[in-house]
Chains A and B, each alone.
Chain A
Amino acid sequence: MNALARHRALSRIWSSEPGWRGVISTVNHSDIGRMFLLVATLFFLIGGVLAMLIRTQLATPHSAFVAPAIYDQIFTMHGTVMMFLFAIPLFEGAAVYLLPKLLGTRDLAYPRLSAYGFWCYVFGGLMLVFAMLAGLAPDSGWFMYPPLSSSAHSPGVNADFWLIGVTFVEVSAIAAAVEICVSILKFRAPGMSLDLMPIFAWYALVTALMILMGFPPLILGSILLELERAFGFPFFESALGGSPLLWQHLFWLFGHPEVYIIFLPAAGVISTVLPVMARTRLLGYRWIVAAAVALAFLSFGLWVHHMFATGIPHMGLAFFSAASTLVAVPTGIQIFAWLGTLWKGQPRLTLPMLYIIGFFFTFVIGGLTGVMVAIVPFDWQAHDTAFVTAHLHYVLFGGFVFPMLAGLYYWLPQFTGRKRFFRIGEMAFWLIFLGFNGAFLAMHWVGLLGQRRRIAWYPEDAGWTEINLMSSISAFIMAIGVAMVVFDIALHALLAIRGSRNPWGAGTLEWAMPTPPAAYNFASIPIVGDREPLAKDPALANKIARGEYFLGAPRGDLRETLTVDAASGRPEALVIFPGNSTLPIALAAATGAAFLGALIRVYWVIPLALLFVVGLSLRWGWSQRQATHSGLQNVGRATLLPQAIETDRSPGWWGSVFLLGADTVLYGSLFFGYAFLWTVGPNWPPPQWLSLSILELALGLIGAAAAAVGLQAAARAVSRGSPPSLGVLLALTGVAITIAALAMTLTRAGQLTDYAYGATIFVMIAYALIHAAIAAIMTSSLAYRTWRGGAARPRTSNVNIVRLWTDYAAFVAATSLIATQFSSYLT
């Protein structure tokens, strides 16, 4: 088969359907990545318009432009849109589009999950846009502090739109994070060991792990606050044993790492683009990886620095102040490594490089003001002033938008296959750079003079008028610059001439393919022996196209790729991906219907929608494709590999591990909340404790143990080639007993609206009950497969995945029952 015939055959197999049906049924990572990037950019423009409305209001004192109630909605939506609907999805889009190309594979680990995440993002985002257009947008600030956001002070549905819409969007972020982790660890080109991974992949891996650790506390907080608003569960009400500070802890457990979740991918872009622009290799690759990992963990020890003004004891303040200053060290290591790379190379002043220089200038200023606000006495002075607004914009705009614009112009020829012709981008850079600094340097100044954040008006005699006017004019100059970037990109996409395949002379694999990229990425999956394989072997692209590497011979209509050993990059298994499908959008719509039911408080919709979710999920799992023949498969180069679905640890197993990791963080956050209310919350202990029931406890523990043991026996049976009937039956019985025990405890949780204790017990047991129900559904599916037998028989991978979920459900049931049943003995 020659290169052209191979291209045609692979294009037929991997392409999306034509027309609009292609948009809703595509599962190809390039399509999904482009769609993510496009929608995120639209939200950036919406957030930008909101920012201009804010600056219009603040341009003059006592402005009559908008009333305070509308102003509240505008600044809340500006923060919400930029954080949740622009920054994170832009990273997701970039990762979804780029990672398989950088890693030398054909798609991400779960193509349908990419599509599902994208549609959840779109539907969640539309909810918030609708709220804004209907004048019902959230208005309590992007951090939604209770009691301001509680039903007593925010009685409409505005806050509900935030809690439910943002949580829906977070489903998308969690899905993308699981996908990114598994893709980077398992879906790489053969030979690409951990030390040969492109630096962007390291940053994406660290960021995805942070999302899995950082988002669950906010998801939990949002659920608790919505329960309080909808049903009166008093988690955040001091008079009834709750505490508004609990929300702040849960929010900032997410909120501070979020800053680094936004910065780290941008740092990945810098680490990728800067060496190419400097015509050299990245200096200190190992130190940069270590610094990124350190930064990720340190960022989880900083959350209280947003709460310095809440009256926390001095020792607690000192812990978090020390951690906040320490975070400058790994950041500094990265900056010096980049400067060193520039020093040893021969930099060229291209447009991506201009944006990188803009990044250095603004981000270093943002970092230094960050150290200033990490010092408690200074923070007490600057807290809630425009100084903090200016600081966070220097960090986020400087640390994210500038690098992403550098990345946009760097990868533009890869996206479009065209050569940059128009020079509007350079002019746009200067407008953005000067406008940004004019707007936000001034904001530092007016903040230090005492101007508060989030207040629509300021007095004429405060001496802030000229500074605010200058800030507003500069902001509009910046906006013109952003508009020119959009114009430049549109002109480029429509009118620019065809360019060469690797215009920058880069060494990474995304340039070893035709541009714009074909749907299958690589005609054959290359073998990698260098961090910059294309630099080492300039003929690599031709060899790939000629099918000289793995999977160079397309089979039927199968979408095939390889998994590798996570550490060494040794080929491990053959993966057969599902084809185009409307299941993801249908499942996202069903998920959205459940969220919508909660939002409009038509609660019967929720179980109905969840029924659809379960049905579609089962169909999803059932329709997993596999080759006609089982056993070892020829993947080319005289290599035989098993199918991933027939291995002990299939991609589904890996995904379950990461998803359960996030789930564990959510459960841990719930325990943290329980302990926090117990030790720090006012008005504790409660008037009445849950009494110990030996029956419930014994039933729950026995059921959990039986479920775990049953699945273990089932796994052993399948690995021996026997039907796992007995083990599955034991597991089903165990899960049923556990559900009964949990349900009995749930009914005794007491008056849920009277006191935070009862409400907390209810949520803990309900959490365990939901997981037991998931285990029951999965075990029932296994039982059905066992009963059907033949081609439907359970494979090792099926049993191992169900076992993971059932073991987790057993663990949660046991610990929740112990923690709640013995609570009266812990006083």
Chain B
Amino acid sequence: MKEIVRIVIAMLVWLAVFSALYGLEGVGCAAGWHRIPVNGATLFQAAMTIAFFVALLILVAVLVALRAPRFRSASPFVAHISIVLAVAALIAGAWTLFPALALSHCA
């Protein structure tokens, strides 16, 4: 079962951070964060930008962990797939969450 977890964990984390940022957008817009100024930007923009980088950091951490001897699978097959999927999750994170930097408003 640990091998199956190794295979699915990276994309599962992507799904979690993707849902979290979408949820944060909903909470931020509902709470009016886009109307609260913070250093020339808005609280909403600041929160989304920080969340974007935290999300990427988490995905990088998953990739590093899956390559580390402690967590890496002894099976070359599982190790290969888990690392390919961790890279895919990182790319997916950067691509799908990029709008958090480019479109940080509630319109």
Task: Spell out A's residues near B (CB within 8 Å).
Answer: 185, 193-195, 209, 286-287, 289-290, 293-294, 296-298, 300-301, 304, 313-316, 318-319, 322-323, 326, 330, 566-567, 675-676, 679-680
Contacts and interface: CB of A to CB of B under 8 A. Distances in A.
B96 A319 contact: yes
Contact of B7 (A287, A293, A298): A293
Contacts, number: 105
Nearest to B11: A297
Nearest to B3: A567
A193 B75 contact: yes
A293 B22 contact: no
B23 interface: yes
B93 to A, nearest CB: 10
A296 B85 CA distance: 12
25 contacts: A185-B1, A193-B75, A194-B75, A195-B75, A195-B77, A286-B80, A286-B81, A290-B80, A290-B81, A293-B7, A296-B11, A300-B15, A301-B18, A301-B96, A313-B25, A313-B107, A314-B99, A315-B48, A318-B99, A318-B103, A319-B97, A323-B18, A326-B92, A566-B3, A679-B30
A567 B15 CA distance: 25
A734 B88 CA distance: 45
B103 A315 contact: yes
B37 interface: no
B7 A567 contact: no
A322 B29 CA distance: 21
A286 B25 contact: no
B2 interface: yes
B15 A314 contact: no
B85 A290 contact: yes
Contacts of A293: 7-8, 11, 81, 85
Interface residues of B, number: 43
Contacts of A195: 75, 77-78
Contacts of B14: 297, 301
Contacts of A297: 8, 11-12, 14-15
Contacts of A313: 25, 29, 105-107
Given A193-B75, A319-B25, A323-B18, 20 more contacts: A185-B1, A194-B75, A194-B78, A293-B85, A294-B92, A297-B11, A300-B15, A301-B14, A315-B100, A316-B22, A316-B25, A318-B102, A319-B18, A319-B21, A319-B22, A319-B96, A319-B100, A322-B97, A326-B95, A566-B4
A567 B84 contact: no
A304 B99 CA distance: 15
A691 B7 CA distance: 45
B10 to A, nearest CB: 9
B103 A314 contact: yes
Contacts of A296: 11
B80 A676 contact: no
A300 B31 CA distance: 26
Contacts of A301: 14-15, 18-19, 96
Contacts of B18: 301, 319, 323
A680 B85 contact: no
B23 A675 contact: yes
B97 to A, nearest CB: 7
B27 A679 contact: yes
Interface in B3-53: 3-4, 7-8, 11-12, 14-15, 18-19, 21-23, 25-27, 29-31, 48
B8 to A, nearest CB: 7
A282 to B, nearest CB: 14
